[in-house]
Amino acid sequence: MDGYRLVDEALGRVLYIDLRRKTYWVRSRPELFLKFLGGVGVATQLLKEELSPDADPLSPDNVVVLAIGVLTGVYPTASKVVAMFRSPLTGNLGESHAGGRAPVAMRMAGFGAIVIKGASETPIYLSIHDGVVEFKDASALWGVRSSLTIGKVLREREPWPGMRSIMRIGRAGERMVRYASVILETYRHFGRLGLGAVWGSKKLKAVVVGGKRTIPVADVSTYRRFYKELFDEITKSSVMQKYHDLGTPVNVLPLNKIGGLPTRNLTSNSFEGAEEISGEAFAEYSLARRVACAHCPVACIHIAVIRERYPHEKYFYTTRYIGYDYEPIYALGSMLGIKDREGLLRLIEEVDVVGLDAMSTGVALAWTTEAFKKGMLSESDTLLKPEWGDWRTYINMVKHIVNQPNDFYRILASGVEKASKVYGGSEFALTYGGNEMPGYHTGPGAHIGFLIGLRHSHLDNAGYSTDQKYIGKEYPSPQSLIEELVEEEVWRQILSSLVVCFFSRGVYKPSAVSKALEPLGIRLSEEELRKLGMEIYREKLKLKIRLGYRLEELKPPKRVFETPSPFGIIGEEYFNEALQHYREKVLQLLST
């Protein structure tokens, strides 16, 4: 990359914010963006520089990096921002991606990355606009019941022109529930791995960022031509059409049909209520509208409406809008045996209002229900009687997770892994490297993928999609499966550094990425991109190891081997062989 310069110099600007001293400074780091393209590649380097390996995740020593990439605001669906930090849920590297307006707003504000350090003594929020950072008092916002209200108040208080994003935590973040989320605009989240708790520990209620500027490109006519090609492909592709029509809940029925929909804490692989909570049923009975992340023509975000009658007025109703996606439907729906669509929407709404990660919350409630039924927990622990399908009780349990009225809820607020160590039931505690399970029981690829993925997420390597590809065909050997998963994860480091939405991964193939970079003054062949993906993967792995990641500790929950998948019962021997191959592969990668 030597010899090139960043055409948009502002992208190379990194904003450093010290919450303790209430100061900020900017460093020009174009070399980082030229080498790593942005996002995960850049954030990994910044964390290596700033985060001490012994920093407690909920102490002022933890560091949060937000980063966008060279394609942000330039091409369609380059609409995500990545957050990297030390996760209070796993104790290791945290990585979470979100959309909304934040990525484009950061670029409009003139920063490629924001590094947040230290902690404030009193609640504050940051107002970052046109290169200026203001530290504003958030005492009046701290403790407000709904994260949605915070968004409304800040919209009024920070009325700037241009693109603006409001990222904030709810009460779960304030109370440092280790799977608290950060909510962006109204319907997007940094959901996974507890970024909300980290902000809460820093007394950081919100970050409002925005600006208004033009992004220069090196070659306008090639850019326009290639933009149109990408736009057409994205808007005409059948995959994107399905995300537009039904959104991610389109997956509910197909997964249920193949026996890959985790149900009632994965005691079953299919749900008798799947029809009621399918994408089709939501669209038919509840869909109000669709919205999109900034600079995305797909609009996969589906918003349902619920009406509630005023208690003393016969024909007067209040209407509320609730975003729904596949993952909340799985975690708070099938996983808890809830088929009442409106009840499920109300539970999703409560999780959003308090600012929790839907997936971790659903798995925590599912584990609690099973442990309660098995007598490992009593009503003096749970304070309520959890029962599959009883969404009203689950809403009250969500409130308890946030308020933590007793030891049990204080422990459950630390995650399922911690709770199962204290109360037993680790064999059905569905966590991977400390992170609660995503919604796929599609076969060995999904579970091995969750375990070895560097953020223990289904999005690392899409093992669930590898599984589905092999239904009705010969399944790969453990070695081949690992090779396939790692290869996918390596390529995804490029997508995560450009921070494009993974839903458009079929469009952003190596050849398309190489072409897209050219009008921006960056020349990288497909081969060079793949090599860069491997370098970023290796850098992330090294950072994880520095933070305490131990390959020998990778263990799946026993339940995975008890409930049939679309390939029947998953064999432990197959699983262990694959893990052994992965460990050898990592050692080999680290030695090169």
Element (H, E) at 254: helix 252-258
**Shorter beta-carbon distance to ligand SF4: residue 215 or 589:** 215
Identity of the amino acid at 517: L
Which residue, 75 or 111, is less far from ligand SF4 as judged by CB? 75
- Tell me which stretch binds ligand SF4 (CB under 6 A): 50-58, 288-296, 411-419, 505-513: 288-296
User: In the set 45, 62, 79, 361, which binds ligand SF4 (CB under 6 A)?
Assistant: 79
In the complex with ligand SF4, which residue's Cβ is closer, 505 or 515?
505
Interface characters, 190-219, with ligand SF4 (x: CB under 6 A): ------------------------------
For residues 463 and 450, is the Cβ–Cβ distance under 8 A?
yes
Of 86-145, binders to ligand SF4 (CB under 6 A) are: 99
**Binding range to ligand SF4, per CB under 6 A, among 17-25, 103-111, 292-300, 339-347:** 292-300
Q: Which of 144, 215, 287, 292 binds ligand SF4 (CB under 6 A)?
A: 292
DSSP secondary structure string for all residues of 393-424:
HHHHHHHHHHH--SHHHHHHTT-HHHHHHHHS
Q: Least CB distance from residue 501 to ligand SF4, whole Å?
A: 3
Near ligand SF4 by CB under 6 A, which window of 114-122, 293-301, 463-471, 557-565?
A: 293-301
CA 411 distance to own-chain centroid: 23
H or E element that contains 204: strand 204-211
**Between residues 500 and 534, which has the closer beta carbon with respect to ligand SF4?**
500
Smallest separation, CB 524 to ligand SF4 (Å):
23
Q: Which is nearer to ligand SF4, 249 or 273 (CB)?
A: 249
301 touching ligand SF4, by CB under 6 A: yes
The residue within the footprint of ligand SF4, chosen from 180, 296, 332, 499 (CB under 6 A), is 296
Q: How far is the CB of 386 from ligand SF4 (least distance, A)?
A: 32
DSSP sequence for 473-521: SPPPPHHHHHHHHHHHHHHHHHHHHHT--GGGTTTS-HHHHHHHHGGGT
State which of positions 476-505 bind ligand SF4 (CB under 6 A): 501, 503
Tokens 């190891």 belong to 545
The distance from CA 16 to its chain's CA centroid, rounded to whole angstroms, is 23
The residue (of 243 and 367) whose beta carbon lies closer to ligand SF4 is: 243
Which of 115, 300, 459, 516: binder of ligand SF4 (CB under 6 A)?
300
The DSSP bridge partners found for residue 287 are 304
75, 226, 243, 423: which one binds ligand SF4 (CB under 6 A): 243
**Binding of residue 77 to ligand SF4 (CB under 6 A):** yes
CB of 520 to ligand SF4, least distance (A): 19
The interaxial angle of helices 478-498 and 39-50, nearest 10 deg, is 90
Report in angstroms how near the CB of residue 354 gets to ligand SF4 at its nearest: 23
Return the number of the residue (41 or 99) whose C-beta is nearest ligand SF4.
99
State which of residues 183, 298, 304, 338 lies at the interface with ligand SF4 (CB under 6 A): 298
Cβ proximity to ligand SF4: between 144 and 292 the closer is 292
Element (H, E) at 173: helix 171-174
User: What one-character DSSP code corresponds to residue 554?
Assistant: -
Among 299, 395, 411, 545, binds ligand SF4 (CB under 6 A): 299
Q: Return the amino acid letter for 417.
A: E
Nearer to ligand SF4, 81 or 109 (CB): 81
Number of H helices, E strands in the chain: 23, 17
Least distance from C-beta 266 to ligand SF4, angstroms?
Answer: 26
User: 319: part of which helix (H) or strand (E)?
Assistant: strand 317-324
In angstroms, give the least distance from the CB of 332 to ligand SF4: 19
Residue 291: name the closest of 329, 328, 252, 244 by CA.
244
How far is C-alpha 525 from the geometric centre of its chain's CA atoms? 30
Residue 244 CB, nearest approach to ligand SF4 (Å):
8
Angstrom distance (rounded) from CA 481 to CA 83: 29
Rounded Cα gap, residues 497 and 500, in angstroms: 8
> Virtual CA dihedral for 115, 118, 121, 126, nearest 10 degrees?
-10
Distance in Å, CB of 180 to ligand SF4, minimum? 21
Decide if residue 293 touches ligand SF4 (CB under 6 A).
yes
Residues in 30-69 at the binding interface with ligand SF4, rule: CB under 6 A:
none
548's tokens:
């305490």
3-state helix, strand, coil in the chain (%, to 5): 45, 15, 35
Binding part of the chain for ligand SF4, among 17-25, 170-178, 221-229, 289-297 by CB under 6 A, reads 289-297
Q: How far is the CB of 160 from ligand SF4 (least distance, A)?
A: 23
- Write the single-letter amino acid at 336: L
CB of 243 to ligand SF4, least distance (A): 6
Of residues 243 and 394, the one with the C-beta less far from ligand SF4: 243
Which residue has 């994880």 as its token pair? Answer: 544
Which span (191-199, 295-303, 467-475, 478-486) binds ligand SF4, by CB under 6 A? 295-303
Which is nearer to ligand SF4, 79 or 420 (by Cβ)? 79
The span from the CA of 77 to the CA of 82, in Å, is: 14
Which amino acid is located at 364 in the chain? A
**What minimum distance in Å lies between the beta carbon of 504 and ligand SF4?**
7
How would you classify the pairing of strands 13-18 and 113-117?
A: parallel
* CA atoms of 442 and 468, how far apart (whole Å): 7
Q: Nearest 10 degrees: CA dihedral of 253, 254, 255, 256?
A: 50
User: How many amino acids of this chain bind ligand SF4 (CB under 6 A)?
Assistant: 13
Alpha-carbon span 479 to 579, nearest angstrom:
9
Q: Is 446 in the site for ligand SF4 (CB under 6 A)?
A: no
Between CA 295 and CA 400 the distance in angstroms is 38
CA distance 121 to 118: 10
Choose the binding region for ligand SF4 from 7-15, 204-212, 298-306, 353-361 (rule: CB under 6 A). Answer: 298-306
> Segment contacting ligand SF4 (CB under 6 A): 294-302, 336-344, 352-360, 418-426?
294-302
Phi, psi (deg, nearest 5) at residue 189? -145, 150
Dist CA 298 CA 275 (whole Å): 25
CB closer to ligand SF4, 218 vs 239:
239
Binding residues for ligand SF4 (CB under 6 A): 77, 79, 99, 243, 292-293, 296, 298-301, 501, 503
